[in-house]
Structure 1
């Protein structure tokens, strides 16, 4: 199915890191992996019509299955961050329903 995956997302993880002053902290870290996928604009109304779920979302992603991505994962796409709100399909491929989050800060 990956022939139409012309976009890339990155998974973020919440973990310990050392800041620029050598202090250990916890926060969001951008993983180095780029995941090929298809990203489409989406909405609550489309979600209700297509899946019967009442899930607030702004994007829908189609991608190969990845066990590292679960509901509540944080994804980066085009310098914006999204929370995985629902995974309505994960068999031969995954479908993710994402909601943009403006409160995510990535730490180096």
Structure 2
């Protein structure tokens, strides 16, 4: 994890599935509760696999961040993650960027 301006960037690696998402949820929800910075970016370029548990987690964290007045985006989506987001139409709702938004 690294701070970049008002953003905290969390780098994810490997697989996001039923076994790995609980640790991600714990980590990001703790960041959402912090007083600052106000925005969280999940760097997903090194995610090699993402099943429905991972997608559900992205949506859950995005909703929790929004409810807390925080922003949450995905950065540099790996092609496999991008395919799943497109197939589920979540790419129309969940913010996905190549670089951090201003």
Could you state the TM-score of these two structures normalised by the residue count of structure 2?
A: 0.26
Length-normalised TM-score, structure 1: 0.25
Q: Which one has the bigger strand percentage?
A: 1
Which structure has the greater CA radius of gyration? 1
Relative to its length, the structure with more helix (as a share) is: 2
